[in-house]
Amino acid sequence: MAVWSYPPTPKQLAVTACCFVTGVALFAVGAHLSLANVGPQQDRVKARRNFVKDRLRKLLDD
C-alpha cells in the first residue's frame, strides 16, 4: 500500500476522475464500433477464403 507524503488535492482528484471516465468512454466506443463492424469483416473474410479455394481448385485441376 502506498503512503503519500502529500495527499492529492480535490482538483487533482477531479482531473484523475475525468481522465478515468474519458478512458472508459473511449474504450466503450471502441468496443461498440468493433462489434458493429464484425458482420462486414466476417463477410469479407468469407469471400476471400472462397476466392482462394476456388483459385486453388482451378489451378490444381488443370
pLDDT in tens, 1-58: 567 788 889 999 999 999 999 999 999 999 999 888 888 889 999 999 999 999 999 9
Q: Which amino acid is at 21?
A: V
How far is residue 1's CA from residue 5's CA, in Å, rounded to a whole number? 13
Confidence of residue 61 (pLDDT cuts 50, 70, 90): confident
pLDDT in the model for residue 62? 66
**Phi and psi, residue 15, nearest 5°:** -65, -40
How far apart are the C-alpha atoms of 38 and 34, rounded to whole Å? Answer: 6
